[in-house]
Amino acid sequence: MGGNFHTITRNDLTTYVLEAGRRYWPAGAVPDDPCREDIDPGELGSDWCYVELPEWAADIGIDGRLLVDRRSIASGPGTDFERCDWFLAGFAHLSGIAQVKIERSLGPAHSYSFRLKGIPSDLFDRAWANRIMLFIRRRAARLAGKEEDAFLGPMPEGQITLTHDVDALDKTVAIRLKQGLFNLFNLVRLLARGDIREARSAALGASRMVFARLSYDHLETVAEMAEARGLISAFHLYAGRGAGNPGLRKWLFDPSYRIDDPRLLSFVRKYKERGFEFGLHPSFESWNSTASITREKEALERTLGVNAKTVRQHWLRFSWEGTWRAQSESGLSVDSTLGFNDRSGFRAGAALTYRPWDFVRNRPHDIAVLPLVLMDSHLYDYSPMTPTSRRAAMAGILGEVMRVGGEGAVLWHPHALASDYGWREGFEDLLDLISRQ
């Protein structure tokens, strides 16, 4: 794809950021600087820097600073924070422009941060867009000589949405192969760093994964554990398995169950009445296909009697310029694919439900996104941790969402409660942390 971008007018940019951050000014929008210019998005995303905040806003930043696109800082006299175009700084994060440019050059990175060469990792460590909006809010109240709450409304409360992608009901050969390889890889890493105790545990886990015969139907267990702490979950279900031979790629990467499995029918019927939500988990190859997503959505709704509005792509297969269009054309309303397979954090620097920018049509997408900030495999497959460090990592991500009054989704796969994974303790810790926020 080409690298050209449409010019975005100042009015469109301001309207977009105000709408994305509406939770921070419920009583009225903040004013924009009228002298700012239209922008070429192609100039953004290549150079990032920290801006020192004034004393009256230092608590909003990290060590008193915010990470912004350098293009948002105008030349001239005054401090960086005075010359910074904060609406443009927010847009640079929310739009994911740095990743869009890489995708246009190299193709989709899908959801692997290591493929995003040249983008600083600290871009994903914090909810920078939310913090920028907090600064915009405070600055506006200060310029108006008013208290923030009186001028713009009360600060929003943070909200964590607990979700589950149903990838398995039975332990298949494909799962034994994929997860066994992950366990062996982690065993090698642990041995390389001399952690013999954890390596022994990983070796036992790899053996159990390959040889143990266990049920992976833990849907009710997950739901009951959440409900016991006053939480309601959202389950994403796969509906792409048809009759006949699925082919090697589909056999290896897609779930093996059918949407008309009696276990699913019974579970959905029971927990739909108790307020749990059910959305779509489209197949591995569907990430840019309106036809595939539509077909699977219709099969799910027809079979289970639900109205599927939420979605998360299987394996987080994702394109900035293809996935959201395909999903919205299929009649879906909220996507929570925007995250990484290989790390936790904030892929667009945001913990917000908002409509991402469509650089092809030069306007917001029709679908909203709820960013995925944390999932189980971040804590086990990609970064083996001790129970203490695992809980600290979870608390750090959830704490960032709550600190900025943001919104974020967390994901735990129900089949990972099986004993050959050994991830149940982590799920219990996550539930405790969410219920105490």
Task: Give residue-wise pLDDT tens across range 214-261.
Answer: 889 999 999 999 999 999 999 999 999 865 667 788 888 999 999 999
Q: What is the pLDDT of residues 140-195, one digit of tens each?
A: 999 999 999 999 999 999 999 999 999 999 998 777 776 666 666 556 665 666 76
Cβ-based neighbours of 66, under 8 Å, separated by 6 or more? 50, 51, 53, 60, 89, 128, 131, 132, 135
Ranges of beta strands (E only) in 297-427 are 310-311, 334-335, 357-358, 363-364, 368-369, 372-375, 407-411
* pLDDT for res 252: 87
* Structural domains in the chain, sorted by start: 10-152 (no CATH), 159-171+214-435 (3.20.20.370)
Instruction: For tokens 């089949």, name the residue.
Output: 415
User: Given a cut of 70, is residue 417 above it in pLDDT?
Assistant: yes
User: Given a cut of 60, is residue 2 above it in pLDDT?
Assistant: no
Q: What is the pLDDT of residues 14-64, one digit of tens each?
A: 999 999 999 999 998 898 887 789 999 999 999 999 999 999 999 999 999
Average pLDDT over residues 429-433: 98
Instruction: For tokens 């694919």, name the residue.
Output: 337
Reported as a pLDDT band with limits 50, 70 and 90, residue 1 is: very low
Q: For the whole model, what pTM was predicted?
A: 0.93
| Ramachandran bin of 96, using left for φ above 0, alpha for ψ from -120 to 50, beta for the remaining angles | left
Question: Using an 8 Å Cβ cutoff, are 407 and 372 in contact?
Answer: no
Q: How many other β-carbons are positioned within 10 Å of the β-carbon of residue 397?
A: 22
Determine the Cα–Cα distance for residues 316 and 282; give it in Å rounded to an integer: 10
* pLDDT for res 342: 96
Q: What is the pLDDT of residues 278-298, one digit of tens each?
A: 999 999 999 999 999 999 999
Give the CA-trace dihedral at 243, 245, 248, 251, to 10 degrees: 40
